């Protein structure tokens, strides 16, 4: 087995690794570090949790330790899709450079230009940035990328999802042709393949096993759900979510709830809080300080439920969670793999439950094709309305009208209504339980989808 000491890393870097408590390199580190140190381009196909951040930071630091920073011309550049990921990479740099004198600047939104400009003016060894913010600095004439010797693109598939590929291409064109490129992506979509063919030169390709294929400890289930009426669907779906959380009881120590849209992240978080759950949202439109505070709370256990979008959650180094709930089936099947990979880590048990509306059935098929298995159907834990009157009731869901008192953390699990989630429904055709859809068409403004209680709360 490869040891860190076999890898030709700077002795001061080795010391920092030892102090971080790492014993052996992970497969992506053992595969990527040697070619990176030889100056070769690297194409790493790996996702968060595999140790990929160290697989590019350790060789970069070793290479940078041999030279000096120059004013306004950073010697290396790491591009990350989100601020959180960039901040995490910066933390990694701090850990591994603690015995070396290397400087870095973090160019992300939410941090003042002035502070960042001052650092760049002095000269930095490493620039860690999100693409948009980097180009803002460049356009203000404060930055030259012609001194970049090593460029890293992290989470390239996420960059693609976020529409950053044109920015990445532009940034590539601003750096010297002779630079070394280390490029990481969890998947190789055709557009990513095109970029790597254009900008990487004979890269060493290292691929490590996907998380979900490795983890058999995640129990999965899907609840097929159809609203009783279109205008009630959103609030009824949130009721299903609450019932699913309750049905898990104390087994659900902490959970990430994924929504496809940022507006739903906000609405779900607000609704859960209203019902006394310990919940907070995280997505790209929130203030940086707010996002950091939420994440800290989730890490230290004071926050139980994190409601997240894929973009915000991707790449976050949060501890393993007991549960993942998919409020929506993700539009990209790969995201399902990333989402459920948040639970069942390191051999621990985990559970991932997805809510699927008729609109999401195609996406569910794509997920099942990708993971090559059928996700067991669970019974909807919310009882179907039995009386005729509910069908004639006003648009507000009767169930969303009475929020329960707070302090839910301790009594969760006792209020599960109807049959418990966990039992399989008898057939795949048992999809949804509602009546025919009437009403407002597909483009329901989100505030209308809120119950009156939630609207008042907003």
Site for ligand AMP in 408-437 (CB under 6 A): none
Are the C-beta atoms of residues 400 and 230 closer than 8 Å to each other? no
Nearer residue to ligand AMP within complex by CB, 27 or 432: 27
The 32-51 site mask, x for binding ligand AMP (CB under 6 A), equals ----------------xxxx
Radius of gyration of the chain from Cα atoms? 24
Assess 22 for contact with ligand AMP (CB under 6 A): yes
Nearer residue to ligand AMP within complex by CB, 96 or 275: 96
| Concatenated DSSP letters of 114-179 | HHHHHHHHH--SEEEE-HHHHHHHHHTT----TT--EEEE-SHHHHHHTT-HHHHHHHHHHS-TT-
Nearer residue to ligand AMP within complex by CB, 53 or 235: 53
Binder of ligand AMP out of 36, 45, 53, 260 (CB under 6 A): 53
Assess 54 for contact with ligand AMP (CB under 6 A): yes
Site for ligand AMP in 305-324 (CB under 6 A): 317
Nearer residue to ligand AMP within complex by CB, 26 or 294: 26
CB of 13 to ligand AMP, least distance (A): 13
Nearer residue to ligand AMP within complex by CB, 24 or 290: 24
Distances (CA, A) of 232 to 32, 450, 451: 51, 9, 8
DSSP-derived letter for residue 100 is: S
Nearer residue to ligand AMP within complex by CB, 208 or 324: 208
Applying CB under 6 A, the site for ligand AMP has a residue count of: 12
Provide CB contacts within 8 A for 282, sequence distance 6+: 265, 291, 294, 295, 306, 307, 308, 309, 312, 313
CB of 395 to ligand AMP, least distance (A): 45
Assess 342 for contact with ligand AMP (CB under 6 A): no
In the chain, the N- to C-terminal Cα span, in Å, equals 56
CB of 21 to ligand AMP, least distance (A): 7
Q: How many residues does the chain have?
A: 458
Contact range with ligand AMP by CB under 6 A, out of 21-29, 329-337, 372-380, 438-446? 21-29
Nearer residue to ligand AMP within complex by CB, 25 or 227: 25
Q: Is 437 helix (H, G, I), strand (E, B) or coil?
A: coil
Strand partners, 222: 354, 377
Are the C-beta atoms of residues 154 and 28 closer than 8 Å to each other? no
Residue numbers of the site for ligand AMP (CB under 6 A)?
22, 25-26, 29, 48-54, 317
């Amino acid at each position: 087995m490869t040891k860190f000491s076999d890898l030709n890393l700077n002795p001061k870097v080795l010391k920092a690794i030892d102090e971080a408590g790492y014993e052996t390199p992970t497969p992506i580190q053992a595969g990527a570090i040697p070619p990176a140190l030889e100056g070769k381009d690297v194409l790493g196909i790996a996702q968060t949790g595999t140790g990929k951040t160290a697989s590019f930071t350790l060789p970069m630091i070793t290479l940078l330790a041999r030279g000096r920073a120059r004013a306004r011309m950073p010697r290396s550049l790491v591009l990350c899709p989100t601020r959180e990921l960039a901040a995490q990479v910066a933390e990694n740099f701090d850990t591994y450079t603690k015995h070396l004198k290397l400087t870095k600047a973090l160019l992300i939104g939410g941090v003042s230009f002035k502070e960042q400009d001052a650092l760049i003016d002095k000269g930095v060894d490493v620039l860690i940035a999100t693409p948009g913010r980097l180009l803002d600095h460049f356009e203000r004439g404060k930055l030259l990328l012609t001194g970049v010797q090593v460029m890293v693109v992290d989470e390239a598939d996420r960059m693609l999802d976020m529409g950053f590929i044109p920015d990445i291409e532009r940034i590539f064109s601003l750096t010297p042709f002779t630079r070394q490129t280390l490029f990481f992506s969890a998947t190789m979509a055709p557009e990513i393949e095109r970029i790597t063919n254009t900008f990487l030169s004979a890269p060493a390709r290292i691929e490590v096993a996907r998380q979900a294929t490795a983890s058999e400890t995640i129990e999965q289930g899907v609840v097929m759900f159809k609203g009783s009426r279109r205008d009630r669907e959103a609030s009824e779906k949130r009721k299903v979510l609450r019932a699913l959380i309750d049905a898990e009881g104390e087994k659900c120590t902490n959970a990430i709830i994924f929504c496809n849209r940022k507006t739903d992240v906000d609405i779900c978080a607000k609704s859960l809080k209203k019902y006394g759950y310990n919940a907070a949202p995280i997505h790209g439109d929130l203030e940086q300080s707010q996002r950091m505070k939420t994440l800290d709370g989730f890490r230290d256990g004071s926050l139980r439920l994190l409601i997240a979008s894929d973009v915000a959650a991707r790449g976050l180094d949060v501890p393993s969670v007991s549960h993942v709930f998919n409020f929506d089936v993700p539009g990209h099947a790969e995201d399902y793999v990333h989402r459920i990979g948040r639970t069942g880590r390191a051999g621990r048990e985990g559970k991932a439950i997805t809510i699927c509306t008729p609109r999401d059935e195609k996406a569910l098929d794509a997920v099942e094709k990708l993971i090559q298995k059928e996700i067991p159907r669970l019974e909807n834990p919310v009882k179907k309305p039995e009386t005729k009157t509910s069908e004639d009731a006003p648009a507000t869901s009767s169930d969303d009208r009475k929020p329960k008192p707070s302090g839910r953390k301790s009594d969760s699990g006792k209020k599960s209504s109807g049959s418990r989630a966990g039992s399989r429904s008898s057939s795949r055709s048992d999809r949804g339980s509602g009546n025919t859809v009437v009403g407002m068409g597909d483009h329901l403004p989100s505030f209308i989808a809120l119950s009156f209680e939630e609207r008042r709360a907003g």
